[in-house]
């Protein structure tokens, strides 16, 4: 489910174009100091993010992953299925074990094996197909590895609803998909 956060903003270190391509979308690095309101969420999610990262690193050593959505956790990862939209071959189930994604600001951590990435972030309140996606942001990256975007947001009217976050990479290998179900509060 999407939740609401105050409009307190941190300093920016990376700026990329948003999905409308007419206004900048600002992100802060993972190592930047976050406002106090995010510390509880950060501390709560750090252990889970680290375990997801370790799992991803172990998986990367044995497979040729295109990309993995580490946080919020992916609904399922099958490297050969990532080309199948809209969910990368994953079966999406939104329930009480799904993570919370805050409307006003949330982070995403990805691991990419590509030297460049053209990422699109979308969300929907539909929990079953057909999905009606809302574009959130477009981001370009350079360099393979793990990166974190700390300044993504969903529309305010998503607050209090379950939904699905979708990440698309328009890479040299084709269009690749991963999704994350989100329960209380999206």
- Report the predicted TM-score, pTM, of the whole model to 2 decimal places: 0.68
Query: How many Å apart are CA 78 and CA 73, to the nearest integer?
Result: 14
Distance CA 168, CA 20 (A): 16
Which of these CATH numbers, 3.30.40, 2.70.50, 3.40.50, 3.30.70, describes 2-182? Answer: 2.70.50
CA 147 to CA 74: how far, in whole Å? 15
SS3 145: strand
Per-residue pLDDT of 141-157, as tens digits, reads 888 999 899 889 999 99
Question: Is residue 36 packed enough to be buried (19+ CB in 10 Å), middle (13-18) or exposed (0-12)?
Answer: exposed
Task: List pLDDT tens digits, range 22-78.
Answer: 444 444 444 443 344 344 444 545 555 555 655 555 444 434 568 999 999 999 888
């Amino acid at each position: 489910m999407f939740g609401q956060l105050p409009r307190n903003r941190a300093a920016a270190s990376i700026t990329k174009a948003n999905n409308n391509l007419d206004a900048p979308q600002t992100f802060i690095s993972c190592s930047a100091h976050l406002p106090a309101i995010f510390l509880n969420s950060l501390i709560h999610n750090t252990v889970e993010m680290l375990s997801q990262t370790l799992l991803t690193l172990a998986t990367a050593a044995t497979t040729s992953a295109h990309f993995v959505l580490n946080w919020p956790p992916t609904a399922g990862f099958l490297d050969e299925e990532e080309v199948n939209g809209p969910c990368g071959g994953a079966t999406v189930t939104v329930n009480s074990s799904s993570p919370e994604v805050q409307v006003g600001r949330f982070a995403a951590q990805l691991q990419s094996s590509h030297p460049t990435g053209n990422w699109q972030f979308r969300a929907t309140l539909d929990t079953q197909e057909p999905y009606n996606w809302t574009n959130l942001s477009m981001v370009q990256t350079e360099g393979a590895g793990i990166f974190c975007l700390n300044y993504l947001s969903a529309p305010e009217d998503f607050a209090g609803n379950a939904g699905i976050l979708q990440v698309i990479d328009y890479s040299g290998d084709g269009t690749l998909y991963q999704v994350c179900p989100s329960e209380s509060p999206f």
